[in-house]
Amino acid sequence: MTRYLLVTWDGAGNLVSTLGIARTLVADGHDVRMIGHASIQQRCGDQSTRFTPFTPAADWDPLEVPGNFEEEMEMIRGRLSFNPAIGDDVLAELEREAADVVIVDCMLFTALSAAEASGLPTAALVHTPYSVFRGGPLVEMFAVGIAPLNNYRAGLGLAPVTQLVELHDNPELALVALPKAFEPDSPDAPNVFRMGPVLDAPALQRTDEVVDLGDGSTPVVLVSLSTAEQDQVELLQSIADAVAGMPVRAIVTTGPAVDPATITAGANTQVVQYVPHGEILPAASLVITHAGLGTVMMSLGHGVPMVCVPLGRDQFFNAERVAALGAGLMLPPGADAAAVAGAASTVLNDGRFRDAAREMAATIGTYGGAAGAVTELEALTRRARNEVPVP
């Protein structure tokens, strides 16, 4: 039995791979505990792991409304990625109870630094597109945090970094939760293991909602925007208006950030707060989404094409990749009901989008998901214990 500490945060979609790995580790008989925001345990319930909440200094409210994208990025940088309290909490947790391996969310740079300082074997869990932290606008937005991060690292006795990507390359292992085919041609670092998406992860929210998928005679459309707060109500209503006039059966999931009662829906539409996508996607013909990576990977994993209307974060990159793969269309954030309906009709009626999505499903099926990640983690532990020679 190996003692694993998973360090994570409540970003909703990032928890898909985290909880999938945690559950698989537990099933393999390992001792697993998590440290993260208290809202994770409140929303997701018992995951058969021991849970330690971050201290108030590391607090994060996933339902807080950012004023705009720039304010959201400032909030992510200050309260999350470069927050020294998160790194301190990790070190305190390791002092309270030892671990053999630390698994850290890729966006928690002070936590990755703390794990490095601990000297324990570490895996970075990359739930975003791997390449977005290796170049492009997201790198520039996060670059302002390098100086304060290096101040924190100096206090831990660690060398400074010049690029944030070093925090992903320094650990013994980087688990990347998406297939290589989804990203542009760019080399993976030697420590990368592409586990691919986790399609059978535990539910991200406890629910007793039941959806009516019909008898199969009418196309089912799943509408899902962000589980977290991203000022999505207006867009969600536009999408509901769009599908109301289409010959489809629509299921709209609002997530905890939006009260389903605030959405006006047509007779062909059921609005619920949360139902695991895995319960709907096998019957779905189309997904209309903000292009969060969790939803995109789940949709592609089930061979369902998409209409993507990105709101922020890495969603523009994800939406562009869906379109480039031929598995859907991308619309601008302010798309109105007419634009959404037009794009949805195009994707539903052109079999090439479905064929491309199914091709990606076949590719995703060749990856190991959480089980593959756990195999790599167990191999990492054996190498650390010198039970097998280092390749």
pLDDT in tens, 253-283: 887 777 777 888 888 988 888 888 888 999 9
Check residue 299 and give its pLDDT: 94
Q: Is the pLDDT of residue 12 over 80?
A: no
What pTM, to 2 d.p., does this model score?
0.88
Structure tokens belonging to residue 156: 């831990």
126 and 52 share one domain = yes
pLDDT tens-digit profile of 24-80?
999 999 999 999 998 888 766 666 789 999 999 998 877 776 667 778 788 889 999
Residue 359 inside a domain? The answer is: yes
* pLDDT band with cut points at 50, 70 and 90 for residue 148: very high
Residue 255 inside a domain? The answer is: yes
Check residue 361 and give its pLDDT: 96
Check residue 67 and give its pLDDT: 61
184 and 57 share one domain = yes
Residue 88 inside a domain? The answer is: yes
Q: Collapsing DSSP states into helix, strand and coil, what is residue 244?
A: helix
131 and 235 share one domain = no
Range of the domain at 144: 3-196+367-384
Whole-angstrom Cα distance, residue 221 to residue 192? Answer: 35
Provide the domain count of the chain: 2
Are 199 and 369 spatial neighbours (Cβ–Cβ below 8 Å)? yes
26 and 169 share one domain = yes
Q: Is the pLDDT of residue 243 over 80?
A: yes
| H or E element, residue 101 | strand 101-105
Check residue 88 and give its pLDDT: 97
176 and 225 share one domain = no
Q: Is the pLDDT of residue 339 over 50?
A: yes
Instruction: Report the mean per-residue pLDDT for the chain.
Output: 88
46 and 121 share one domain = yes
Q: Is the pLDDT of residue 213 over 90?
A: no
Instruction: Look up the CATH number of the domain holding residue 295.
Output: 3.40.50.2000
Residue 45 inside a domain? The answer is: yes
